[in-house]
Structure 1
């Protein structure tokens, strides 16, 4: 019987490299103190093909970012402990985190709020309620990984 030479094929595969398979999904830290909003955001990001880590307040967000640095942070500004502006400031002060883009998703919708939030260091701004396509566009601009196209 003629058997295929599997060993040559296995040697060239990623499984024989000694490296474990890597999850290529971008990691996004979603921060919102409203559990319903956080759950919705988590589900949307999952549909986009992202691995979402959630946090319900500023301290939890900072802790999560240090434990598992995300590719992007989606941040509510009005939080119960330290507000989103302080989270942005602390992320920017951390040399290991300062490169992470931060997208503000907030109910603060006045033009002066938008200007203040962007000046504080957020790379993008979306007001609540946000359009899912706008969120997808913003994420695509800042993640170096293709996202799953989802039609809504």
Structure 2
């Protein structure tokens, strides 16, 4: 039996004022890049490679935002989105589609499925930062990646 595994950022765990982001991504390199980006923005995060437990994790941790890959083995991101929007404990959580599907039709279909935002891979950290700041407005004191690199 395959056990889904997820991990939570160690740094920032203690600071409950920082927003919590659930990232669901099956490619290790993309997952690592996303975790670095979120940490640089001052977010706490939980990363998952398996979409089958996303609803359970979202219900338990109540993240402020979910970053969800669309092309996942097993349940697709769109299938997971349907589950999230049907559950009273998770329907209110904003969800960003993070995907390699980049055509205008793909984007329209994804947004019509209920996603709050869409970002295509590969993405620039500034674009990711803008989406996170827009969706989590007022939930944390944001620093741009550029400002953090200047310290």
Which category describes the TM-score, using the shorter chain as reference length? 0.7 to 0.9
Asked if 1:54 corresponds to 2:47, the answer is: yes
Matches within 5 A, 1:1-152: 23-143=16-136, 144-145=138-139, 146-151=141-146
TM-score normalised according to structure 2 size: 0.83
Larger Rg: 1
User: What is the DSSP-based 3-state SS (H/G/I as helix, E as strand, rest coil) of the residue aligned with 2:145?
Assistant: coil
Instruction: Name the SS for the 1:82 alignment partner.
Output: coil
Conserved in 2, the CA contact under 8 Å of 1:72 and 1:100? yes
SS of 1:40 mapped into structure 2: helix
Report the Cα distance in structure 2 between the residues aligned to 1:35 and 1:62, rounded to whole angstroms: 21
Alpha-carbon RMSD? 1.4
Residue pair 1:109, 1:127 contacting (<8 A) in 2 also: yes
Q: How many residues align?
A: 132
**Alpha-carbon distance between aligned partners in 2 of 1:85 and 1:95, rounded to the nearest angstrom:** 18
Give the equivalent residue in structure 2 for 1:16: none
Gap change, CA 1:39 and 1:22, over 3 Å in 2: closer
Which ranges of structure 1 fall in alignment gaps of 5 or more residues? 1-20
The 2-side partners of 1:110 and 1:149 are apart by 28
The Cα of 1:62 is off from its aligned counterpart by: 1.9
Distance in 2, matches of 1:54 and 1:22, equals: 18
Identify the residue that residue 6 of structure 2 maps to in structure 1.
Answer: none
Q: Say whether the 8 Å CA contact 2:125–2:145 is kept in structure 1.
A: no
